Amino acid sequence: MTTIYAAKKIYTHNPSRPIATHVAVKEGRVLGVGSLEELKAWGDYLLDEQFVEKIIMPGMIEGHSHTMEGMLWRHAYVGFFDRMAPDGKVWTGLPSKQAVIERLCEFEKNIKDPQVPLTGWSLDPIYFDGTRFNREDLDAVSASRPIGVLHASGHIMNVNTKALELAGLLRTGIEHEGVPLGNDGLPTGELKGPDVMTPAGLHVGFNEDMLACDEQGLWDFARLAVRTGVTTATDLATRLSDEVVDTALRVTADEHYPLRVVPLRFHHGVTPKELVDQVLSLKARSTDNFPMGRIKVVADGSIQGFSARLNWPGYINGATNGLWYIAPEQLREIYDLSLAYGIGVHTHTNGDEATDLVLDTLEAALRDNPSFDHRFTIQHGQLISQAQFRRMSSLGMSVNLFANHHYYWGEEHYMQTVGAERALRMNACRSALNHQIPMAIHSDAPITPLAPLFTAWAAVTRETRTGRVQGEYERITVAEAMHAVTLGAAYTLHLDHLVGSIEVGKFADFAVLEDDPYEVPIDELRSVRVWGTVQGGRIFSSADM
Partner 1 sequence: MNFTSQKNDSVLTPVTLLSGYLGSGKTTLVNYVLNNADGLRIAVMVNDFGDLPIDTSLIVAKDDDIIQLSGGCVCCSYGNDLVRALARLQDLPNKPEHVLIECSGVALPTPVKMSLSLIQGLAYDGTVGLIDGSQILKQLSDRYIGDTVARQIKQADVLFLSKIDKLTDDVKQSVYEKIGTITSKHAVGIEYGSVPLDTVLSSYVADDLSVDKDMKFQNSKFTHANFESMVVRHENAVNLTILHSKLTSHSAGIVRAKGYLYADDGRQYLMQLVGDHCEFTPVNKIPISGLSENESAFVVIGIKGKLLMPSLS
| Residues engaged in binding partner 1 (CB under 8 A) | 168-169, 171-179, 194-196, 198-199, 208-209, 239, 266, 268-271, 273-274, 309, 321, 323-330, 353, 356-357
**Cβ atoms < 10 Å from Cβ of 473:** 10
Beta carbon nearer to partner 1, 358 or 439: 358
Beta carbon nearer to partner 1, 359 or 433: 359
Minimum distance from residue 327 beta carbon to partner 1 (Å): 4
Beta carbon nearer to partner 1, 310 or 445: 310
Minimum distance from residue 256 beta carbon to partner 1 (Å): 33
Which among 485, 493, 491 has a CA at the least distance from the CA of 525? 485
Judged by DSSP in three states, 531 sits in strand
DSSP state of 486: I
Distances from the Cα of 277 to the Cα of 145, 283, 306, 337, 494, angstroms: 44, 10, 34, 10, 20
DSSP state of 439: E
The stretches of 117-213 forming alpha helices (DSSP H) are 135-139, 161-166, 194-201
- What residues have CB less than 8 Å from 394, skipping those under 6 apart? none
Minimum distance from residue 220 beta carbon to partner 1 (Å): 24
Which among 199, 181, 198 has a CA at the least distance from the CA of 190? 181
Minimum distance from residue 144 beta carbon to partner 1 (Å): 23
Minimum distance from residue 65 beta carbon to partner 1 (Å): 20
Minimum distance from residue 269 beta carbon to partner 1 (Å): 3
- Rounded distance between C-alpha atoms, residue 365 and residue 357, angstroms: 12
- Rounded distance between C-alpha atoms, residue 535 and residue 487, angstroms: 16
- What residues have CB less than 8 Å from 337, skipping those under 6 apart? 272, 273, 276, 343
Beta carbon nearer to partner 1, 309 or 405: 309
Beta carbon nearer to partner 1, 269 or 370: 269
- Rounded distance between C-alpha atoms, residue 87 and residue 89, angstroms: 6
Q: Estimate to the nearest angstrom the gap between the alpha carbon of 55 and the chain centroid.
A: 25
Q: Is 28 left (phi over 0), alpha (psi -120 to 50) or beta?
A: left
Q: Is 230 left (phi over 0), alpha (psi -120 to 50) or beta?
A: beta
What number of CA atoms fall less than 13 Å from residue 274's CA on the CB side?
8
Beta carbon nearer to partner 1, 306 or 324: 324
Are 496 and 484 spatial neighbours (Cβ–Cβ below 8 Å)? no
Beta carbon nearer to partner 1, 172 or 527: 172
Which among 436, 512, 433 has a CA at the least distance from the CA of 479? 433
DSSP state of 186: S
DSSP per residue, 420-433: HHHHHHTT-HHHHH
Minimum distance from residue 192 beta carbon to partner 1 (Å): 11
Beta carbon nearer to partner 1, 170 or 504: 170
Beta carbon nearer to partner 1, 196 or 345: 196
Minimum distance from residue 534 beta carbon to partner 1 (Å): 38
- What residues have CB less than 8 Å from 192, skipping those under 6 apart? 155, 156, 177, 178, 179, 180
Beta carbon nearer to partner 1, 10 or 169: 169
Are 347 and 376 spatial neighbours (Cβ–Cβ below 8 Å)? yes
- Rounded distance between C-alpha atoms, residue 18 and residue 34, angstroms: 10
Beta carbon nearer to partner 1, 198 or 541: 198
Beta strand residue intervals within 51-155, DSSP E:
55-58, 60-62, 76-77, 83-84, 90-91, 118-123, 147-151
Beta carbon nearer to partner 1, 274 or 523: 274
Beta carbon nearer to partner 1, 299 or 487: 299
